[in-house]
């Protein structure tokens, strides 16, 4: 073989090696791969590109074929290698080797699940996204830091208040202690009296209840007596009023016209029966005890 033939063969071999390295580095495949095509929808697929590896239990089982937008979310299409059957419990999530590590699609399933996956869409699980976890952890850390800062500020304020009011607080505590001691001493002194009082309280309560019950019964009896003797009382009061009027008339005659007593007048007998009848009619009709006007 001459030098030109050797140079051509070397050049062709170099192109083949360069093409193989390029396909490995760029994850470019000359022949369309076979296998199962599945997809998953993620709220955020940052860092995932075409030819991103798909791993299951740390073993590469496929590659990402493409990414497109669907309803404001990322639809990731994956090609699973032939001979690998995904179970029904398969879940997909985006993971990475760290904050700046390469992203990959991680598939997980329940151990022992042999039921084949129904359909071509895999449910997603965002719990394994290291970036999101770290972001949430950083947010929580900031919140905790702010809380500790507020607690520290409150503690300093309380400490300053205590230092400024140390003397009044001490006097107040001493006064409270003295008051508590005095109250305890007073309770000890009157302990027996209080016990006797509380022992006698139920009996006193029962006695008071009996007193009020008897008083109520007495009031009811008095009301019944007054009701039964109302007419007699009306008659008595009427007679008393008439006697008072007669005495008042006699007093006026003695004061102003004493000569009338020297004149003899014929005795006029009063009809007590008619007078009593008229009084009863007045009581029954008007209910008043006013004087009855006599005709002269």
**Whole-structure pTM over 0.85, yes or no?**
no
Q: What are phi and psi of 80, to 5 degrees?
A: -95, 140
Q: Identify the pLDDT of residue 64.
A: 94
Domain boundaries, the chain: 32-128, 129-164, 230-262+276-286
pLDDT tens per residue across span 153-176: 888 888 888 777 877 877 777 788
The mean pLDDT value of the chain amounts to 78
The span from the CA of 67 to the CA of 54, in Å, is 14
Contact call for residues 29 and 23 (beta carbons, < 8 A):
yes
Among 22-26, 80-84, 260-264, the range with the most confident prediction by mean pLDDT is 80-84
Among 29-38, 122-131, 178-187, the range with the most confident prediction by mean pLDDT is 178-187
Among 114-123, 131-140, 157-166, 231-240, the range with the most confident prediction by mean pLDDT is 114-123
Among 154-163, 179-188, 203-212, the range with the most confident prediction by mean pLDDT is 203-212
pLDDT tens per residue across span 39-50: 999 998 888 999
The span from the CA of 65 to the CA of 39, in Å, is 9
- pLDDT-derived band of residue 239, with 50, 70 and 90 as boundaries? confident
Q: Identify the pLDDT of residue 259.
A: 64
- Range 259-265 average pLDDT: 58
| Residue corresponding to tokens 């002194």 | 189
> How many percent of the chain have pLDDT more than 70?
74
The span from the CA of 165 to the CA of 163, in Å, is 6
The yes-or-no verdict on residue 262 having pLDDT over 90 is: no
CATH of domain 32-128: 2.40.30
* SS3 per residue for the chain: CCHHHHHHHHHHHHHHHHHHHHHHHHCCCCCCCCCEEEEEEECCCCCCCCCCEEEECCEEEEEEEEEEEECCEEEEEEEECCCCCCECCCEEEEEECCCCCCEEEEEECCCCCCCECCCCECCECHHHCHHHHHHHHHHHHHHHHHHHHHHHHHHHHHHHHHHHCHHHHHHHHHHHHHHHHHHHHHHHHCHHHHHHHHHHHHHHHHHHHHHHHHHHHHHHHHHHHHHHCHHHHHHHHHHHHHHHHHHHHHHHHHHHCHHHHHCCCCCCCCCHHHHHHHHHHHHHHHCCCCCCCCCC
Residue count of the chain? 296
Q: Identify the pLDDT of residue 294.
A: 46
Q: Identify the pLDDT of residue 61.
A: 93
Among 102-111, 126-135, 232-241, the range with the most confident prediction by mean pLDDT is 102-111
pLDDT tens per residue across span 78-118: 999 998 889 999 999 998 765 556 889 999 999 988 898 88
Residues 6 or more apart whose CB falls under 8 angstroms from that of 37 comprise 65, 77, 78, 79, 80, 120
């Amino acid at each position: 073989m001459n030098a030109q033939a050797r140079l051509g063969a070397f050049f062709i071999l170099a192109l083949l090696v360069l093409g193989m390295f390029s396909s490995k580095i760029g994850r470019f495949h000359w022949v369309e791969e076979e296998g199962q095509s599945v997809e998953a929808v993620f709220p955020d697929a940052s860092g995932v590109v075409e030819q991103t590896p798909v791993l299951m239990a740390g073993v590469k089982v496929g590659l990402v074929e493409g990414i497109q937008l669907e309803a404001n979310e990322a639809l990731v299409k994956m090609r699973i290698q032939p001979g690998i059957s995904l179970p029904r419990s398969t879940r997909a999530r985006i993971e990475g080797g760290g904050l700046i590590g390469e992203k990959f699609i991680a598939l997980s399933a329940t151990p022992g699940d042999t039921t084949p996956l129904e359909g071509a869409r895999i449910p997603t699980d965002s719990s394994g996204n290291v970036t999101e976890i770290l972001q949430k952890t950083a947010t929580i850390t900031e919140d905790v830091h702010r809380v500790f800062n507020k607690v520290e500020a409150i503690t300093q304020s309380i400490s300053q208040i205590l230092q400024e009011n140390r003397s009044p607080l001490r006097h107040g505590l001493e006064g409270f202690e003295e008051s508590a001691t005095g109250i305890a001493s007073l309770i000890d002194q009157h302990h027996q009296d209080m016990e006797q009082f509380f022992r006698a309280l139920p009996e006193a309560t029962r006695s008071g209840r009996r007193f009020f019950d008897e008083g109520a019964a007495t009031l009811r009896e008095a009301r019944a007596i007054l009701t039964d003797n109302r007419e007699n009382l009306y008659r008595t009061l009427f007679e008393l009023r008439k006697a008072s009027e007669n005495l008042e008339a006699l007093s006026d005659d003695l004061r102003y016209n004493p000569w009338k007593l020297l004149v003899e007048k014929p005795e006029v007998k009063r009809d007590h029966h008619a007078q009593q009848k008229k009084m009863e009619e007045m009581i029954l009709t008007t209910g008043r005890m006013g004087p009855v006007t006599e005709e002269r």
